Structure 1
């Protein structure tokens, strides 16, 4: 990770909806009804100071994580985690996952091989689902 960014992670509000969608779109992730997930309190956003004075205010939202509560188990499933391209590999995604884990107690995620190093670095226990997909799980430390 290069030069970590100071970030604050908070629960998204309806005012964040457009920027959350832009961040998810930028990562080519499709999540059903983002507004419903925001209304349910299941979307976290990472915010931070602008690095360059020319950046617009919407650049302050650096990343987003969308959770879905698991029906019969404690914790949540990570539906998506995305960080603005210029802010990747700087701790933003890690901060989002850590905040979600703090609240939920346990997280699961399904992902492609290309993002496995991210989940490995966060200490997820990972198993192969098929030739291209993995599932990971992590529980909050006691």
Structure 2
């Protein structure tokens, strides 16, 4: 069952609400990085609300805009991926599509970059449902969600 959630970029005034969401999800977050994400100097945080009450958040790091790499196999320019550093939904609001809405919005915001995340086995089903390709990574899992491309005109 999916619910309608209002999504917006969180700012410095949302710091306490975001920290509470991540703490309730038992997530370790780097306070300096989170401040930079909330200031939009090193990524961003999207906040999901229902009736103006915070119910979920996703924090995303962005590689410097000037850092892109060339894929030697195809000879095309590929931007560095963006990375989810934390995502949480209030326990009583889980299994309603809020996390997926947060991931979809983050993926849309970072496109054409791919969106990545490093996570534990227990959340594999969530990332798979969000369209991530998943592989082992240093004792954990790493997922990558590639941007969707619109069909090209004839």
The TM-score with structure 1 as length reference comes to 0.85
Name 1:62's counterpart in structure 2: 55
Q: Is the 8 A contact 1:74 1:104 kept in 2?
A: no
Find the aligned partners of 2:110 and 2:94 in 1 and give their Cα distance.
24
Number of matched residues?
Answer: 130
Name 2:45's counterpart in structure 1: 43
Name 2:27's counterpart in structure 1: 29
- Structure 2: segments with no counterpart, 5+ residues: 68-78, 150-154
Q: Which structure would you say has the larger Rg?
A: 2
Q: Say which SS state the counterpart of residue 64 (structure 1) adopts.
A: strand
Q: State which drifts further: 3-12 or 20-29.
A: 3-12
1:92 Cα offset (Å): 0.7
Name 1:110's counterpart in structure 2: 118
Deviations 1:62-118 (A, max 9, x none): 101001112433441000110001011111110110011001012000000000000
- Structure 1: segments with no counterpart, 5+ residues: 50-56
Q: State which drifts further: 8-17 or 60-69.
A: 8-17
Q: Is the 8 A contact 1:77 1:107 kept in 2?
A: yes
